[in-house]
Each structure stands twice: as C-alpha cells, then as structure tokens.
Chain A
Amino acid sequence: MALRSKTFRESYYEDIKLFQTIWSRFWMAIFCVILATLPLWGNPYIVFLINLSCIAVVAALGLNLLVGYTGQISIAHAAFVAIGAYTTAILSSKVGLPFWFCLLASGVLSGAIGCALGFPCLRLKGLYLAMATMSFSVVVEHVLITWEKVTGGVRGIHVQKISIFGFPLDSDNKILYFLLILTALMILGIKNLVRTRVGRAFIAIRDRDIAAEVIGVNITVYKVMAFTISSFVAGISGAMYAYTMGYVHPEHFTVLLSIQYLAMIIVGGLGTILGSVFGAVFIVLVPEMIKALFRFLAFLIPVLKGKYSEEWNIATFGLLIILFLIFEAEGLNGIWRRIKNSFKNWPFTY
C-alpha cells in the first residue's frame, strides 16, 4: 500500500489500526454526518435505496467473510438470510416478542444452522462445496414453501412494524437510523474480527489450507467458525430485511439471491470490507441505472418504450460477474485503491 509521505509507522499496532490517518477519520466523520442527515435533504426514494443498501451490505459482509476471507464457496447465503428473516417474522408477528430478542434470535438460529452445515462441509472443497451448499439452499426453499403451519407457505408472513422500547419506527426515515446503526456495528465487528488472530487464520486457510494446518491453525475450528459467523451475520441481515419490508415470502430468497450476493462481493472485491460495501451498494443501484438507461434509450428509439423488465437486472448481474472476473479481479475496491494511490503520489506515478 502506498503511504502518504511523512506517514511513519513505528509499531505493529499502528499497522493494523482501523483508521490509519487523521484524514481517514475526518472523511469517515463527514460521511457519517451526510448519512445521518439524509432524511432532511434526500427524497424518500433515496432513503429507501439506502435502507436496501444497508441490508445488502450486512449480507455481503457475511458472505465475504466466508468466501473472500476463508475461501469457502457458498451458494446458500440467501438461505441463511431467509432463516433470519423468517425467524424475525414469526417471533415478532405470531409470538409478539420485542425487536432486540427477534434480532438476536435470528442471528443465533441462523448461526447455529450455519454451524451445523459447516461440520459436514468441512470435507468438501471447490466444486463439491458449491454443489453441497446449493442443494442446502434448495432444501431450505422447499421447507419454506411446504411447512405452511410455521412459514405460511406461499402466502408469506406480514411482519409487524418494529418498535424500539415503545417508540415505533413506522416510516423509512425512522427505520433508516436503526439500519445504519446495525450496519455500522456489523462493519466494525467484522473489520475488527479480520485484523485479529481469527481473521489471519481465515486468510491462511484461504491461501493454502495445508500450510495453515502445518503452522498450527486448527482448520476444523476456524472453518466451522467462518460458517457460523457468516450465517450469523446473514441472519441479522434477514431480520433487517423483515423489519424494513414488512413482508417475507419464499420467492424473495431463491438461489438467485445467493448469486446476487456473490455478484456483490465479486464486483466489490473479494476479501475486503470496503469491497463488500461498494459491491452491495452498486448492485442495489444497478436496477435504478438500468431503468434510467431505458428511459434515456426510449427517447432515442421509441420501440424500446415500456420494454423494461426485471429480467434486464438479472442479465446485468450475470454480465457484471463475467466482466469483473475477466477484466478486474480486484473489483471496485481495486479501482478505488488505484485512483486513491495515483492521487497520493501525484505528480509521480509511484
């Protein structure tokens, strides 16, 4: 990493600090202020998009921990988000428990099931792991549809509006703060996790598992831990989804959503926190960009008028995965870092 001149590090502690310079702290503070005052100046639709982004960011973080940091392929992430969302929906609407309990229960249940999936998946790698997680995802989807007594089947469940200690969060503007705080907590938590011993163990397993075992990383423990934490985070994201949307349905959590999460971390950058954030926000905004593109094209070519459909979004996700993998393996995070470095070193090239 290129350093700004006159920045010196004198200890390892400084090397792994969360905010390296006073400037990064400064920009972060400005960014937080902008987000916090959003309802004052942004229109409701932007607030809604930011809400969606927060949910996606948390889910992408969980997936990136498992796929980007630990190197375990999972096509079952949407299943864990679904488990979290349904736990919250059932506990809050049918049982009537308070939000903090639902939130924790979503995370813990999802994490427990992730742990249970992690054990049998210990033996599998690459292709086999991809297929095993994919079949798990199919089974979860099937259970959601057929276990009508609990999940409501294809009718879905309406979720009660969240209220925090008697204070109802009944609009997008109010729920924004709830989501922002949770997202910030999750980002900080994961960021802290990956700079500790545990995070280094994950990276060692990703880079060469046999070598990791030889230098004393307990692969069994850490792989299962990665699965558990990843699905815990996914469960929290699911709870956020249930509260924000107010409705959960099996159709929302198909394998396609898992692929969408994978697209987020590929587009953002594998194995980076900032990448998960970039990717999640980008993928959430893609449908908006395509809608805008279609509106623009309809001006030029009248035939295209009204031809927009959801399918174009999915096609774009697929295309983005392919293009980023071929041309920019480091993702948006890589592009961002290169731009930043060229500014830092200006007028020199390096």
Chain B
Amino acid sequence: MEKTILHFFQLFASGIAVGCLYALIALGFVLIIKATDILNFAHGEIIMISALLCYFLITKFHFSFLSAAALTIVIAALLGVLTERVILRPMLGEPIFSVIMITIGLSIFLRSLAGITFGHDNYVFPSPFPKEPVHIGGITLSMTQIWVIICTALLVAVFFIFFKYSRMGLAMRGTANDQEAALLMGISTKRVFAMVWAISFVSAAIAGIFLANIMVVNIGLTFTAISAFPAIILGGLESIPGAIIGGLAIGVIENLVGGYLDPVIGGGVKDVTPFVVLFLILMFKPYGLFGKEEIERV
C-alpha cells in the first residue's frame, strides 16, 4: 500500500516538472492569442531552434552556459519582432484560415531550414546542472527538474508583475481587451504586437533551453509544442493562469496515464494521451476552464 502511494506521488512530482515546461510553452502561445488572436503554429520551431542554437553556441563557440542562454534569448526576441513585421502584419484583417495557414507555412519552412543548417543528428546538451538526483521524502527528482520548476515559477511571477504593474503590460492588456479602444487611447498597437511576439519567442527560447537539458537535442523538439496544445485548450485559449494550470494538469495526467497504463496496454500511450484529452475537452468544454466563451447559436 505504502509503495503504491509513493509510486503515485513519484509520478505526480515528475508530472509537475514536465507540466512546468508545458506551462512555459503554453504561456508563449497564450500571450500571442490573447493580444492578436493568432495561434502561432511555428512556436515549436522557435523552441527547437533556440535549443540547437544554445547547444552550438556552447560547443562550437565555447560560450559559457549563461552567456549562451542570454544570447539565444536575445536572438529569439529579435526573431519575434521580425516575424511579426514581415509575415503577420500583412495578414491583418485576413480570414482566420489564411492566418492559421501562414503560421503553419512558417513552421514547416523554419523546421526544414533548421534541418538543413543544423543537421539531423542527436546531440547531448552539456547540462550545467549537477547529475545527482535529489531525494525529498522518498520522491526522486533530478536537479534539472527542480530548476525547471523554480524557473517556471519565477518567470510566471515576472510576467504577472509585468502585466499588472508596468506601463507596457497595461498597454498589452488594453490591446488584448479591445484593439480599437486601445488605439483611441493612444496606444501604439503595432509596438504592442511586436513586443508580444518578442516576449512569446523569449518564453519559447527559455522552454527550449530547458528541454535541451532534459531531452536529446534534435529537430524532433518541435513536437513538444504540439503536445502543449492540449494544455492551452484545457486552460482556455485566452487565459494566462489557464495556460499554467492547463500545462501542469496535462503534465500530471500524461505521467499518471503513462505510469499506470503503459505496462497494461503497451508503450506509446503516454504520447497520445494529451491528444485524446484535447479531443475530449474540445467536445465537452470547447472554451476550456478559463477561456472566453463566445456563445453563438447556429
């Protein structure tokens, strides 16, 4: 009995660590959706490119971990501004299908370019965190997992303070709430959009650097972003707390299902679970837990 409970908590704790990463990725998605109503399908590519970039900065150009991470984050921010300016701005006022498709086009474009420049090999990231696992009351977590949890918590706090108290954060909330009213109040929505894309890409870069520590670094990292879709749907597309709760929930569910069902049904259930959950949420509660409900009777 004791053992089964411990097993449960072990799965739960590692689920939280995975969930933190989902939350971080989901946060990047939600920021853009909230301000501009665009789901950025190219988010995963930014995560993958940041991870690879950071890896190559450390191994090929002999940067220290912190400076490589900082440089990666700066490049991601610039890429965000560039994407908004070149690709998304001409799409203002176009039908939703075009906007979705253009980010999908961007995603496969970036993915194959990354494949061409970085190659398809698997790399092992030189992790800066100590290897020894930590034992807390019978639960074993790796140092990386603990750092993921700490950093996500910190970032969420920073974002919260930024949105709540800074001038730019207020402008962003205003724009998200009502674009025209924000324009009338003298907010430069163009600058807000550029900032939103930059911040979103920065959160993607941070998620990418952490993922690089946990997983093998290769082109396949993009698919972690697709696994975060269930998280944003569960939380509701427009809600930042929703993204975090959704991310944690999906991480825990995935780990529990994987831990209990994999031995019974066979491997791979863990990877499909988020999508089954996604489908179920869309069927029964399409606007998620905290999303804006657009009631429409057709």
Contacts and interface: CB of A to CB of B under 8 A. Distances in A.
Interface of A: 67, 71, 73, 75, 120, 123-124, 126-128, 130-132, 134-136, 138-139, 142, 145-146, 209-210, 213, 219, 256, 259, 262-263, 266, 270, 309, 311-315, 317-322, 325-326, 329
Nearest to A309: B116
A313 B111 CA distance: 12
A142 B98 contact: no
Among A128, A134, A266, A270, chain B packs the most CB atoms within 10 A around the CB of A128
A127 B96 contact: yes
A158 B139 CA distance: 49
Contacts of A130: 39, 100
B87 A135 contact: no
Given A131-B278, A262-B101, A326 B90 contact: yes
B268 interface: yes
Contact of A325 (B39, B101, B230, B271): B101
Contacts of B271: 142
B113 A315 contact: yes
B279 interface: yes
Contacts of A73: 96-97, 100
A127 B100 contact: yes
Contact of B112 (A126, A131, A270, A318): A318
Given A126-B100, A326-B87, 13 more contacts: A123-B283, A124-B282, A128-B282, A131-B233, A131-B282, A138-B272, A139-B275, A210-B298, A311-B112, A313-B112, A314-B109, A321-B102, A322-B87
B145 to A, nearest CB: 26
B99 to A, nearest CB: 9
B276 A139 contact: yes
Interface in B80-123: 87, 90-91, 94, 96-98, 100-102, 104-113, 115-116
A342 to B, nearest CB: 26
8 contacts: A126-B97, A134-B229, A136-B279, A139-B276, A315-B109, A322-B105, A322-B106, A326-B91
B226 interface: yes
B261 to A, nearest CB: 13
B286 interface: yes
A146 B275 CA distance: 16
A120 to B, nearest CB: 5
Contacts of B2: none
A136 B282 CA distance: 12
B101 A266 contact: yes
B266 interface: yes
Given A311-B116, A329-B98, A321 B229 contact: no
A138 B276 CA distance: 10
Nearest to B297: A210
A44 to B, nearest CB: 29
B23 interface: no
Contacts of B111: 314, 318
Contacts of A120: 279, 282-283
Among B102, B104, B230, B272, chain A packs the most CB atoms within 10 A around the CB of B104
B296 interface: yes
Contacts of B112: 311-315, 318
